[in-house]
Amino acid sequence: MVETTVRYANVTEEAIRTWLKNRLSEDRFMHSLGAQQKAIELARNFKFDQDVIEKAGMGGLLHDAAKLMTPQELLEACNTFDVPVTEDEKRSPQTLHPFVGAEMVKWEFGITEPDIINAIRYHTTGRAGMTPVEKLVFIADKIEGNTRNPLYIQKITALMNYRDSQTLDKVMLYILDSTITFLIEKRQIIHPRTIEARNDMVQSIKAHNRENLNQ
């Protein structure tokens, strides 16, 4: 368990954890703690400053706040919080849990820091233009050590080169490609934001490579 003294909107992390524990199953709560720990670990390994480390940790802790809500509860919450819902999302309402979770976190704790809120919002689909905090939480969600598959964690960890400024994008691209391939094989809907996130990572990596060639 990662202990910090971070406070947001005069709410202690201990109070946030207690609230979260009361909302989640034991397994999902352990996953949330694992995501927090992994996000902090990654941020430190990539030598981000303390501000990014703390935001990534809080985003990791809270990313699944609405995970166990039923489809009907998610749709009702979207109506309450004025969250726009597409027809595809109505057919796959679990994709709404990140947006509902973000709104709940703002409502319950007054947390409005964009990096934290957006890390919660986009931890499932990703999006184009993700910040380092969003990428750290997205990756940590997939490879935290408490509940995720050790073999998958091993695969992702093998891609980590903390001296390469493009590693976050390369790891994001690997995860997004794997996700899209899985959804295609299962003939499931792929959220447009996931496609946009994947294309954005490709463009970012190509642009970086071109810059290196021109130096």
Residue 2 lies in a domain: no
Reference 157, options 174, 179, 137; nearest CA is 174
Would residue 81 count as lying in a domain? yes
Q: Is residue 51 part of a domain?
A: yes
Q: 59 lies in a domain?
A: yes
Question: 161: alpha, beta or left, given left = phi > 0 and alpha = psi -120 to 50?
Answer: beta
Any domain includes 183: yes
Rounded distance between C-alpha atoms, residue 157 and residue 143, angstroms: 8
Q: What is the pLDDT of residues 67-99, one digit of tens each?
A: 999 999 999 999 999 999 998 888 888 899 999
pTM summary value: 0.93
Which residues form the domain of 137?
7-214
Q: Is the pLDDT of residue 123 over 70?
A: yes
Q: Indicate which CATH number applies to the domain containing 171.
A: 1.10.3210.10
1, part of any domain: no
Tell me what the pLDDT averaged over the chain comes to: 92
What pLDDT is stored for residue 91 in this prediction? 84
pLDDT of residue 131: 98
2 pLDDT higher than 60: no
117, part of any domain: yes
Q: What are phi and psi of 118, to 5 degrees?
A: -70, -30
Q: Give the tens place of pLDDT for each residue, 25-59.
A: 999 999 999 999 999 999 999 999 999 999 999 99
The rounded percent of the chain whose pLDDT value lies above 90 is 84
Looking at residue 7, its pLDDT comes to 47
Is residue 159 predicted with pLDDT exceeding 50?
Answer: yes
Structural domain count of the chain: 1
Residue 215 pLDDT? 62
